[in-house]
Amino acid sequence: MSEDFNMSMRKFLKQVGVTSQQAIEKAMRDQDTSGKTFAVKAVITIPELGLEHEIDGTIAGADKGEA
């Protein structure tokens, strides 16, 4: 693949990672999530290519004030 493709891919994935982490932390910040686990799903779509990629997982809750 081209260097332009690689750079744009890395930039997109970095943005996904950083903004997703911030959103999850914000959602959990004011909750008592200790001892709980949460199902999580990420979906990446590229409609023009017919791509829908889903990733399922779990996130362990943090003690209040840790997130």
Distances, alpha carbon 45 to alpha carbons 33, 49, 50, 53, 54, in Å = 30, 9, 8, 6, 9
**Torsion of Cα atoms, 12 then 18 then 19 then 20, to 10°:** 100
Is the pLDDT at 24 greater than 60? The verdict is: yes
The residue ranges of every structural domain in the chain are 3-60
Is the pLDDT at 15 greater than 90? The verdict is: yes
Cβ(1)–Cβ(28) under 8 Å? no
Q: Cα separation of 30 and 36, whole Å?
A: 14
Q: What is the pTM of this model?
A: 0.81
Is the pLDDT at 50 greater than 60? The verdict is: yes
